[in-house]
Amino acid sequence: MGSDGQLSVPNHTIIPFIIGDGIGPDIWRAAVRVFDAAVNKGYGGQRSITWKEVLAGEKAFNETGSWLPKETLDVFRTYLVGIKGPLTTPIGEGIRSLNVALRKELDLYVCLRPTKWYEGVPSPIKNPQNVNMVVFRENTEDIYAGIEFAAGTDEAQKLQRFLKQEAHVVYNFTDTTGIGIKLVSEEGSKRLMRSAIEYAIAHGLPSVTVVHKGNIMKYTEGAFKKWSFEVAETEYGDVTYTWGQWERVRAEKGQEAANAAQKEAEEQGRIIVKDMIADNFLQQILLAPKDFSVIATLNLNGDYISDALAAMVGGIGIAPGANINYKTGHAIFEATHGTAPRFANTNTMNPSSVILSGVMMLEYMGWQEAADIIVKALSQTIKNKTVTVDFYNLMDDALLMKTSEFADKIIEKF
């Protein structure tokens, strides 16, 4: 990572990967062949990737006795960019989730989830081609801070006493009340929003929508909206136009003037920064998906939103993701689904989730040619109805492919 904030990637680069548990090895083995073939096709030997395996999850536990060996974190810290398969969540091991631990250790504050429809992918909605959104989900705060106290514990009771006696909260606490704490900071909100706006600028996208529950949780969700708008207006005022500005013009000069000002901003190609309450947003993505482009949201809302959007364009078998710290450059790319343990070693699951996560990684590295080659071939393969079982079950006249065969078909298209 250069001092200018630009990632500088060697032409022959080393990338650490975690193979993952459950279906992880099947989909990784298919995906890595696609990556290597695409890089080879795109750069004819001028660029290459050496894959460096690091351990996490069940495989790590079986081989080293630790679910997340320190060496794995050190390697990701050193190499900056990596990719991982899904990991089993150890139960009762003192680790809430390995994914959360990785994100926390490397302060990967953006969970990036693009949602785009590929022609031919079965979708539950009528016009999936209208869905093209990129979710920026805050990845370190909100419920991910994981501060919770079980009902009946000393901590929960002490907290109740504090809330009643010192914070003067009027609430009928009982011994059976568990307590969770929601944390949202100005720094956390602002760095997420900066990333979302930078992304919209870099990709020439029309809007950033801040999704929140600020109507109910004023000092967390509401503050997130306020801080996000502040970033847009004070740091990116020359390229954005916010609904906050619209409201101020309306208050001063009336609705027509406000609409005219926004129209002018749109014509100038400014990024429109709007906001929406999360529940309304979840209906609007179904009713008017064309209205949304980049989404900035806190952790819990982002969780629901990204899965709902994934379902609209074909489900988690094709949903890629990344966890990124744009300041340090650290980034771990990953499929968004879990280990689907019932299907482990069946060579039947859809590797598109990991393949498209790899596409995001190549784009992040600036290896756009290789990324484009994969996207084009993957789209054609699905369009030709040569698909894995998840899509096969929903398509007429499709040809059923094993995980490995699906990768072969993609590589043939190169």
CB 212 within 8 A of CB 275: yes
Residue-level length of the chain:
414
| Residue 27 vs 359, nearer CB to ligand NAD | 27
**Binding segment toward ligand NAD, per CB under 6 A, in 132-140, 191-199, 334-342, 357-365:** 334-342
> Total number of residues binding ligand NAD (CB under 6 A)?
19
Give the shortest CB-67-to-ligand NAD separation in angstroms. 12
Q: Give the DSSP H or E segment for 320.
A: strand 320-324
Contact flag: residue 320 with ligand NAD (CB under 6 A): no
From the list 187, 193, 180, 286, the residue with the least C-alpha distance to 240 is: 193
Give the shortest CB-88-to-ligand NAD separation in angstroms. 4
**End-to-end alpha carbon distance in the chain:** 31
| Residue number with the smallest Cβ distance to ligand NAD | 338
CB 363 within 8 A of CB 43: no
Q: Which of 30, 75, 340, 359 binds ligand NAD (CB under 6 A)?
A: 340
CB 136 within 8 A of CB 151: no
Are β-strands 179-183 and 207-212 bridged in parallel, bridged antiparallel, or unpaired?
Answer: unpaired
Catalytic residues: 144, 213, 279, 303
Contact flag: residue 398 with ligand NAD (CB under 6 A): no
Contact flag: residue 347 with ligand NAD (CB under 6 A): no
Contact flag: residue 316 with ligand NAD (CB under 6 A): yes
Vertex 113, ends 389 and 184: CA angle to 5°?
Answer: 135
Task: Look up residue 185 and give its DSSP letter.
Answer: -
Q: Which of 58, 138, 303, 334 binds ligand NAD (CB under 6 A)?
A: 334
Q: What are phi and psi of 374, to 5 degrees?
A: -70, -45
- Compute CA 295 distance to the chain's CA centroid, rounded to the nearest angstrom: 11
Contact flag: residue 58 with ligand NAD (CB under 6 A): no
Contact flag: residue 331 with ligand NAD (CB under 6 A): no
Give the shortest CB-321-to-ligand NAD separation in angstroms. 8
Q: How far apart are CA 395 and CA 397, in angstroms?
A: 7
Contact flag: residue 317 with ligand NAD (CB under 6 A): yes
Q: Which of 209, 241, 390, 409 binds ligand NAD (CB under 6 A)?
A: 390
Contact flag: residue 87 with ligand NAD (CB under 6 A): yes
Q: How far apart are CA 378 and CA 70, in angstroms?
A: 36
Give the shortest CB-350-to-ligand NAD separation in angstroms. 3
Q: How far apart are CA 115 and CA 336, in angstroms?
A: 12
Q: Which of 69, 206, 222, 338 binds ligand NAD (CB under 6 A)?
A: 338
Residues engaged in binding ligand NAD (CB under 6 A): 23, 27, 86-89, 99, 316-317, 334, 337-341, 349-350, 353, 390
